[in-house]
Amino acid sequence: MDVLRDYANELDAEVHSTDPGGTITFPLMPVGQTVDMGHDTRGKPLFDPRIFSSREFFRNPYPYYRILRDHYPVYHDKLHNTYYITRYEDVWRCYFDDEGFNTIPKGSSSGVLGNTQLELSGIEHRRRRNLYGQHLVGRSLDLRVPSIQRLARDMIRDWDNQTDTPWVIDEGKKRIVELGMAFANEFPVRVVCEVLGFPSEAQKQFYYWYNSMMSGLGGSLTHKQGLEARQSLEDYVQDLVEERRRKPSFLKDEDGKIIGKDIITKLCETKVDGDYLSTEEITSNIALVVAAGGETTRGAIINMWYLLLQHPDQFAALCANPDETWDRAFHETLRNSSPIGGQPRHNTFDVNMHGMHVPAGSLMQMVDFSANHDDRVFKDPEKFDIFRDDLYSGKLLRSGFMKEGRCSHMAFGVGPHLCPGAWISHQEAVEGSRILQRTLKNIRLCTERMPKDIDGVSLAPIGIVRVPQLWLEYDRE
């Protein structure tokens, strides 16, 4: 059947079979090239929304986003009744218009994470954000560094006890590790667990809560497990909160010196409108911090090392000046290959953008993946370059747009809803990677164990989200 026949013109350059809900298998193309979906009578490329669910799109998304940015900057996916916003400046403007593009409803995330600021807008959102924002930035953030560094070193040392596992393998004078299982998957969860103030004996249970809630966000068969995990977390936190209200808990440095209170203790002491926070409010904040500080961090660590080790000249320059360059590597990784794709919005009013009418109440996806690869903002956007001069890589910007002639990436969003875990993720990924770089000798990719692309030789592209496995090797002596 010719899927471009008749239906394409009727649906304004969207490609469908006679069954709009039908499936289609797309061929896998070389990275950077697209499947030819045909052209309309004016020569405009056609676009089939079923590509969004294909393996081809997940491994090779950016040339398809380029089609959308260049020809359909506001794309109506009629198959899923969703509008995709793909240009950097448009995404930026929508994020800053909190009244016109609201966050309600979110769907499965509100059920699993609870009543967090993700579902709030306006005054209530600002109040809730200010409620715990003080615990995630500035001096409070600096107090976390000793815990991060100690936990990173402890996890690396523990590899000596894991050589009988599938992810830590000794081969003579070298060691091979799968960085996800050996470090990145659990490291941010351990850090968040400790800094929040969970007892050490609760760490294994905490890892279960985290993984179950993250799995449940998709609204799939795992949603029920996510809901059960959040209820289990809330039951545990309820007793912990009552204990912290009576007896504060503290963070300590490596010498055992008290350097500040943990986040749960601070939340227990926080008042809003003269009243202390309820246990449910504290639990929701904890769930959001866990989600924001964990998932992005492990994806950022894995993607960052994968990209750096494929660019040895940049990695060598980083090693020569690690104090400054790791920040650049982190930001360029999230611009080039973010593990977080975007944020949904619902427009409060009718909107007309780029000739497309979007009725009020429509679901609009702000595609951060695409905005980060907009060549109207970033030169040669598919190129990984930690020294690019158009990307802002200093302190995370809520403004996002044009600071010192450079733009920030969109991985955390911008504006009022800049991800509350952005600073946590940045700190954990950079500090953890610094420890890895200082500790491991002559670190390199174990290419024979890495997934290959369609040619069977090239390393597989990151595509959307993150590398599923990252095999590294280093010298033990």
Q: How many residues in the chain?
A: 477
In a domain, 225, yes or no: yes
Say if 371 falls within a structural domain: no
At residue 26, φ and ψ (nearest 5 deg) are -95, 135
Distance CA 332, CA 426 (A): 12
Asked if residue 360 belongs to a domain, the reply is no
389, 335 Cβ separation under 8 angstroms: no
348 in Cβ contact with 101 (< 8 Å): yes
Round the CA-based radius of gyration of the chain to a whole number and report it.
Answer: 23
Judge whether 178 lies within some domain: yes
Report the distance separating Cα 283 and Cα 196, nearest Å.
11
Tell me whether residue 352 is in a domain: no
- CB contact set of 27 (below 8 Å; sequence gap of 6+): 35, 56
End-to-end CA distance of the chain: 62
Closest CA to 407 of 394, 425, 418, 422: 394
| Domain membership flag for residue 419 | yes
98 within a domain of the structure (yes/no): no
Tens-of-pLDDT digits for all 477 residues of the chain?
333 333 333 333 333 344 555 568 899 999 999 999 999 999 999 999 999 999 999 999 999 999 999 999 999 999 989 999 999 999 999 998 988 998 765 544 555 665 555 555 555 555 555 555 566 666 667 777 888 899 999 999 999 999 999 999 999 999 999 999 999 988 988 888 887 888 877 777 877 877 787 776 655 677 788 888 878 887 888 888 888 888 898 877 777 788 888 888 888 888 777 788 787 778 777 766 666 556 778 899 999 999 999 999 999 999 999 988 999 999 999 999 988 788 889 999 999 999 999 999 999 999 999 999 999 999 999 999 999 999 998 877 677 667 778 999 998 888 877 777 788 888 899 999 999 999 999 999 999 999 999 999 999 999 987 888 999 999 998
Residue 393 lies in a domain: no
Would you state the structure tokens that stand for residue 458, as one six-digit string?
Answer: 């090239």
Range of 434's domain?
Answer: 107-329+411-477
Half-sphere exposure of 206 (CA within 13 A, CB side): 26
Q: What's the CATH number where 252 sits?
A: 1.10.630.10
Distance CA 282, CA 116 (A): 10
- What total of structural domains would you count in the chain? 1
